């Protein structure tokens, strides 16, 4: 909790550290009441520091200091002082050994930062600034040190004792304790330190690296979860191979450990050779885990593994550079998932997240560049902007350089900076140096916030056979950035004729990037206004723009329905095909809003019918093309947002479509049924996705036979994807069976917390009236626990963030509910509190009555006397 107004930290204030820590020796004695931490740090003045006589200032938060010594001599109270979160020692030699003992109470640590207990085991979370909750230290990523860690604990309660690096020794001690010693030869910042102690079962495997070294792979879980580790293990081995093949990166130690914990603020953490995972991102088996869950495990396991190079071997100089490791690593894990499954589906999913959550963040009060200039609380900056937009920026570099030069650039980056803490600028420079391609203007993507808009128009000249694309770019003002300089935007285009793509001859060849065939080009858009003229165009084309979503921008082109239909039917680019379907769906919804009736255009019904019947198409793409734009996406493009109007219009269009295509949907449902054994393959996942999309449409018709279909799917499916999809349909209907289904489901899975979280979520997302009451009741359910972030996200997070109609009930009751929960969590877990708060911060988008009610709740939060810096930053910025 803050004692004064929290201060803002600026990138422009960055200075190299005054001291370095060559080695760090830690001894943990883990106890039932408290834990003692003894550190011995080999320190010296940094020869590059500006001031050679500066005092030593160590970070430390909520620590009980037991003793402090320099070169073996205990310091008297007069020799050190404390100010805020700093311990200051005025007179220190140029090199010395600092010894320190602190006492912690991990059992009482509900923030889940630093050392804490989860389901009886000790574990740590140190990114970004959690290490300072363990001992006094230079807790900043540019201070890298070689760690040796001794762990002493009761051997019955904590038979497994783990830390980073290699196991040096393991011994039994007197009085029922055991001790292990770990040594990590790679210098690392404190945020990558980890410790685990508990009664854990283990799944073992091995991986032989490209140079023939054998690596022991271990996944540590609770005994009851041993049957849910296969998918994570397979994903890990696939990721290790993929990083060798695609990036030439080999694993660098003989051991790689993953530990699953129940209570975790985020998805997982890439601590050197000891990754700690939220159980939700590592455990999976068909009976308990949906297809999306399987894919998440694969993606997160790969993401954390890839950090070993992009994050650990080469780390960040300071937290303003967070996207250096996160944007690059998300780019890497997205390419991996794409290679493991369906590339177009993965792309559509990523773009959907970007265009809803990230575009909303970029248009809201917390908008920030992927390399922010300032922050109050770094935990608030683990955002979709840093991660997803950051990945898009790396992806654009990949597009501008092409795969070979990009690989040359990444090789140079890793070689040049191995073992260093560097900046986003270092990354861009390596890409520039390796490729010879000028990225000067491209750097604006790192420094400017906001989503650029591309206004494009096209004119065909029948006489000269030319087609001119006129492109205007702009970017809205964001907090602290009223004016934006033009961006360098790679715009991938093709021209679609009656019979397919036309050859492209562009006037001024230097304006574009060559691609594999001459029917697609990547235009270098760099001016505020720019024309691109295509020659020898034999017929009036329909432009296919931003192919593959080549840049994170809002594209505006005034397509006619006929043009969109041509793209939806014929475009060879899967993303653009899907985007055309979304655009057509949007037109139907807009006309339903205007007319208060859903009279669908016959051509729209026809194209949907044809897609449904076309068995040559990827079933997952068919499902995605049939799903209308989500309410979250609609809220990004229809302003001001009338949540209820949008919901009603969208539901009425969905129902009209279901009515028109009833037989085709039923046929499709039957065709996609299968008795084969579950596998998380792209092909099976696609089929289940289409089948369940068809079912959700049919359920809108409120016919008994379709309800029966859902009931029977719920009763007979053995995999969680189909069971949960059926349960969700029933919960959102007036089917009598729904209460019984919920009850049966709970009884069957009450001992599986991750399944019960899905049970909470499906109820929290019900769009029928009365859901707030249900959510409040479920908060008193014995299976709910507000200290567990997964449960908070499943119930409160899903209700407030993904259930528009109920969250925005006109009496403002749900706003009040959310503010109450934020105030409660502000004390126990500030990181979760400030994340939960996000839906309220978007108040400016809504109708005046909603705005007023939301604003009042934000003010109520701000008036709380003991706000954490996390919540303070988000609330105060959203009220500005």
Binding string, 207-246, against ligand 0A1, x = CB under 6 A?
----------------------------------------
Size of the site for Zn ion (CB under 5 A): 2
Closest to Zn ion by CB, 333 or 752:
333
Closest to ligand 0A1 by CB, 136 or 191:
191
- Judged by CB under 6 A, the stretch of 47-55, 82-90, 265-273, 848-856 that binds ligand 0A1 is 265-273
Q: Is there binding between residue 268 and ligand 0A1 (CB under 6 A)?
A: yes
Binding string, 269-288, against ligand 0A1, x = CB under 6 A?
xx------------------
Active site residue 810: no
- Judged by CB under 5 A, the stretch of 321-329, 517-525, 574-582, 781-789 that binds Zn ion is 321-329
Give me the half-sphere count of Cα atoms (radius 13 Å) on the Cβ side of residue 102: 21
Q: Do you find a cis peptide bond into 640, omega within 30 degrees of 0?
A: yes
Q: Name the H helices within 418-515.
A: 424-435, 444-447
Q: How would you class 676 by CB atoms within 10 Å of its CB: exposed for 0-12, middle for 13-18, buried for 19 or more? A: exposed
What is the DSSP track for 667-682? HHHHHH---SPP---H
Binding string, 345-384, against ligand 0A1, x = CB under 6 A?
----------------------------------x--x--
Q: Is there binding between residue 689 and ligand 0A1 (CB under 6 A)?
A: no
431 CB neighbour count, 10 Å cutoff: 24
Which residues are 181's β-sheet partners?
Answer: 150, 169
Binding string, 321-340, against ligand 0A1, x = CB under 6 A?
-----x--------------
Query: From ligand 0A1, Zn ion, none, which one binds at residue 266 (CB under 5 to 8 Å depending on kind)?
Result: ligand 0A1
Closest to Zn ion by CB, 277 or 487:
277
Binding string, 78-117, against ligand 0A1, x = CB under 6 A?
----------------------------------------
| Dihedral sign for Cα atoms in the order 516, 331, 683, 500 | negative
- Helix 291-306 crosses helix 682-699 at what angle (to 10 degrees)? 140
Q: How far apart are CA 457 and CA 461, in angstroms?
A: 13
Q: How far apart are CA 20 and CA 142, in angstroms?
A: 9
Q: Name the H helices within 643-797.
A: 643-660, 662-672, 682-699, 704-716, 720-731, 738-749, 753-764, 771-779, 789-792
Minimum CB distance to Zn ion, residue 571 (Å): 33
242 CB neighbour count, 10 Å cutoff: 20
**Which one is catalytic: 270, 304, 388, 651?**
304
Rg (Cα) of the chain, in Å, rounded?
A: 28
Which residues are 24's β-sheet partners?
Answer: 41, 147
Closest to ligand 0A1 by CB, 422 or 622:
422
Size of the site for ligand 0A1 (CB under 6 A): 14
The phi-psi region of residue 781 (left if phi > 0; otherwise alpha if psi is between -120 and 50; otherwise beta) is beta
Q: Is there binding between residue 129 and ligand 0A1 (CB under 6 A)?
A: no
The phi-psi region of residue 49 (left if phi > 0; otherwise alpha if psi is between -120 and 50; otherwise beta) is beta
Closest to ligand 0A1 by CB, 28 or 381:
381
- Judged by CB under 6 A, the stretch of 174-182, 259-267, 403-411, 613-621 that binds ligand 0A1 is 259-267
- Judged by CB under 6 A, the stretch of 2-10, 260-268, 661-669, 814-822 that binds ligand 0A1 is 260-268
Binding string, 164-183, against ligand 0A1, x = CB under 6 A?
--------------------
Structure tokens at 64: 């009980």
Closest to Zn ion by CB, 35 or 312:
312
Q: How far apart are CA 83 and CA 27, in angstroms?
A: 26
Minimum CB distance to ligand 0A1, residue 831 (Å): 6
Minimum CB distance to ligand 0A1, residue 334 (Å): 13
Binding string, 283-322, against ligand 0A1, x = CB under 6 A?
--------------------xx------------------
Q: 10 φ, ψ to 5°?
A: -110, 140
- Judged by CB under 5 A, the stretch of 59-67, 319-327, 426-434, 830-838 that binds Zn ion is 319-327
Closest to ligand 0A1 by CB, 184 or 304:
304
Closest to ligand 0A1 by CB, 127 or 150:
127
Minimum CB distance to Zn ion, residue 150 (Å): 29
Are the C-beta atoms of 112 and 829 separated by less than 8 Å?
yes
Minimum CB distance to ligand 0A1, residue 390 (Å): 11
Minimum CB distance to ligand 0A1, residue 194 (Å): 11
What is the DSSP track for 604-661? HHHHHHHHHH-TTS-HHHHHHHHSPPPHHHHHHHSSSB-HHHHHHHHHHHHHHHHHHT
Q: By C-alpha distance, which of 229, 211, 379, 199 is closest to 301?
A: 229
Walk across the sheet containing 95-104 and list its strands: 73-74, 64-70, 95-104, 35-45, 19-29, 145-154, 177-188, 166-172
Closest to ligand 0A1 by CB, 127 or 579:
127
* 550-609 binders of ligand 0A1 (CB under 6 A): none
Closest to Zn ion by CB, 329 or 380:
329
Closest to ligand 0A1 by CB, 379 or 627:
379
Q: Which residue is nearest to ligand 0A1 (CB)?
A: 266
Closest to Zn ion by CB, 390 or 450:
390
> Using the rule CB under 6 A, which residue among 100, 266, 564, 653 binds ligand 0A1?
266
- List CB contacts of 293: < 8 A, sequence separation 6 or more: 280, 284, 720
Minimum CB distance to ligand 0A1, residue 82 (Å): 25
Give me the half-sphere count of Cα atoms (radius 13 Å) on the Cβ side of residue 64: 9
> Using the rule CB under 6 A, which residue among 61, 124, 265, 550 binds ligand 0A1?
265
Q: How far is CA 138 from the centre of its chain?
A: 28
* 831-850 binders of ligand 0A1 (CB under 6 A): 831
Q: How far apart are CA 42 and CA 137, in angstroms?
A: 11
Q: How far apart are CA 449 and CA 362, in angstroms?
A: 7
* 647-686 binders of Zn ion (CB under 5 A): none
DSSP-derived pairing of the beta strands 554-556 and 453-461: parallel
Query: From ligand 0A1, Zn ion, none, which one binds at residue 263 (CB under 5 to 8 Å depending on kind)?
Result: none
> Using the rule CB under 6 A, which residue among 125, 163, 448, 841 binds ligand 0A1?
125
- Judged by CB under 6 A, the stretch of 34-42, 144-152, 261-269, 583-591 that binds ligand 0A1 is 261-269
What is the DSSP track for 287-305? TT--HHHHHHHHHHHHHHH
Query: From ligand 0A1, Zn ion, none, which one binds at residue 269 (CB under 5 to 8 Å depending on kind)?
Result: ligand 0A1
Query: From ligand 0A1, Zn ion, none, which one binds at residue 379 (CB under 5 to 8 Å depending on kind)?
Result: ligand 0A1
Minimum CB distance to ligand 0A1, residue 365 (Å): 21
Which residues are 260's β-sheet partners?
Answer: 277
Closest to ligand 0A1 by CB, 111 or 806:
111
Are the C-beta atoms of 634 and 589 separated by less than 8 Å?
yes
- List CB contacts of 567: < 8 A, sequence separation 6 or more: 496, 542, 544, 559, 576, 577, 579, 580
Residues found near Zn ion in the complex (CB under 5 A): 326, 329
Catalytic residue IDs: 304
Q: Would you tell me which residues interact with ligand 0A1 (CB under 6 A)? A: 125, 127, 265-270, 303-304, 326, 379, 382, 831
């Amino acid at each position: 909790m803050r004692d004064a107004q929290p201060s803002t930290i600026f990138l422009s204030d960055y200075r190299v550290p005054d001291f370095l820590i060559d080695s760090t020796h830690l001894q943990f004695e883990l106890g039932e009441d408290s834990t003692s931490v003894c550190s011995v740090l080999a320190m010296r003045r940094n020869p590059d520091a500006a001031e050679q006589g500066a005092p030593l200032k160590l970070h430390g938060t909520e620590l009980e200091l037991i003793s402090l010594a320099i070169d073996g001599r205990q310091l008297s109270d007069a020799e050190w002082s404390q100010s805020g979160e700093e311990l200051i020692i005025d007179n220190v030699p140029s090199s010395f050994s600092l010894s320190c003992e602190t006492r912690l109470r991990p059992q009482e640590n509900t923030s889940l930062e630093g050392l804490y207990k989860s389901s009886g085991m000790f574990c740590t979370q140190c990114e970004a600034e959690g290490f300072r909750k363990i001992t006094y230290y230079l807790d900043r990523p540019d201070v890298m040190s070689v760690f040796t860690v001794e762990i002493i604990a009761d051997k019955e309660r904590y038979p497994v004792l783990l830390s980073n690096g290699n196991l040096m020794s393991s011994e039994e001690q007197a009085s029922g304790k055991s001790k292990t010693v770990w040594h990590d030869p790679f210098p690392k910042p404190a945020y990558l330190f980890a410790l685990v102690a508990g009664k854990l079962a283990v799944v073992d495997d091995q991986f032989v690296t490209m140079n023939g070294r054998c690596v022991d792979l271990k996944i540590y879980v609770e005994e009851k979860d041993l049957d849910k580790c296969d998918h994570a293990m397979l994903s890990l081995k696939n990721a290790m191979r993929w990083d060798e093949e695609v990036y030439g990166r080999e694993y660098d130690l003989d051991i790689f450990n993953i530990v699953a914990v129940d209570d975790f603020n985020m998805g997982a953490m890439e601590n050197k050779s000891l990754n700690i995972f939220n159980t939700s991102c590592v455990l999976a088996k068909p009976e308990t885990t949906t297809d999306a869950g399987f894919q998440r495990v694969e993606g997160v396991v790969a993401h954390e593994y890839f950090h070993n190079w992009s994050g650990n071997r080469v780390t960040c100089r300071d937290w303003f550079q967070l996207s250096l490791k996160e944007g690059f690593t998300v780019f890497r894990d997205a390419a991996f998932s794409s290679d493991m499954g369906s590339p177009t589906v993965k792309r559509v999913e990523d773009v959907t997240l970007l265009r809803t959550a990230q575009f909303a963040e970029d248009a809201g009060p917390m908008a920030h560049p992927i390399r922010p200039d300032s922050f109050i609380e770094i935990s608030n900056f683990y955002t979709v902007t840093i991660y997803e937009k950051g990945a898009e920026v790396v992806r654009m570099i990949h597009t501008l350089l092409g795969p070979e030069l990009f690989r040359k650039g990444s090789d140079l980056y890793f070689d040049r900076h191995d073992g260093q803490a560097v900046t986003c600028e270092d990354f861009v420079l390596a890409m520039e140096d390796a490729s010879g391609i000028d990225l000067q203007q491209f750097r604006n993507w790192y420094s400017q916030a906001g989503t650029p808009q591309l206004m494009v128009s096209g004119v065909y000249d029948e006489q000269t056979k030319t087609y001119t694309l006129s492109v205007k770019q702009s970017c809205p003002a964001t907090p602290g950035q009223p004016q934006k300089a033009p961006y360098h935007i790679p715009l991938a285009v093709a021209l679609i004729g009656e019979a397919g793509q036309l050859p492209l001859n562009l006037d001024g060849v230097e304006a574009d990037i060559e691609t594999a065939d001459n029917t697609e080009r990547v235009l270098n858009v760099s001016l505020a206004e720019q024309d691109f003229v295509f020659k020898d165009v034999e017929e009036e084309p329909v432009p296919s723009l931003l192919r593959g979503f080549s840049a994170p921008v809002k594209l505006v082109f005034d397509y006619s329905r006929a043009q969109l239909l041509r793209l939806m039917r014929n475009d060879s680019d899967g993303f653009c095909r899907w985007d055309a379907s979304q655009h057509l769906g949007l037109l139907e919804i807009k006309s339903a809003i205007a007319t208060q009736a859903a009279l669908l255009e016959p051509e729209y019904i026809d194209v949907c019918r044809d897609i449904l019947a076309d068995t040559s198409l990827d079933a997952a793409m068919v499902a995605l093309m049939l799903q209308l734009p989500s309410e979250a996406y609609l809220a990004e493009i229809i302003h001001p947002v009338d949540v209820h109007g949008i919901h009603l219009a969208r539901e009425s269009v969905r129902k009209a479509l279901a009515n028109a295509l009833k037989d085709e949907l039923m046929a499709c449902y039957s065709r996609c049924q299968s008795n084969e054994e579950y596998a998380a393959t792209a092909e099976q996942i696609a089929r289940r996705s289409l089948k369940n999309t068809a079912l959700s449409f049919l359920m809108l018709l409120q016919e008994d036979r379709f309800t029966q279909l859902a009931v029977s799917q719920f009763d007979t499916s053995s995999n969680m994807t189909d069971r949960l999809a059926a349960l969700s349909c029933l919960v959102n209907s007036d089917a009598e069976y729904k209460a019984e289904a919920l009850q049966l489901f709970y009884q069957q899975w009450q001992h599986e917390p991750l399944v019960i979280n899905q049970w909470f979520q499906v109820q929290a997302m019900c769009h029928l009236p009365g859901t707030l009451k249900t959510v409040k009741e479920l908060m008193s359910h014995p299976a709910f626990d507000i200290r567990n972030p997964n449960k908070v996200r499943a119930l409160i997070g899903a209700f407030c963030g993904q259930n528009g109609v109920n969250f925005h009930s006109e009496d403002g009751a749900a706003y009040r509910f959310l503010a109450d929960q934020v105030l409660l969590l502000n004390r126990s877990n500030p990181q979760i509190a400030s994340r939960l708060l996000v839906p309220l911060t978007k108040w400016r988008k809504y109708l005046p009555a909603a705005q007023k009610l939301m604003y009042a709740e934000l003010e109520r939060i701000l008036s709380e006397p003991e706000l954490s810096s996390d919540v303070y930053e988000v609330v105060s910025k959203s009220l500005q």
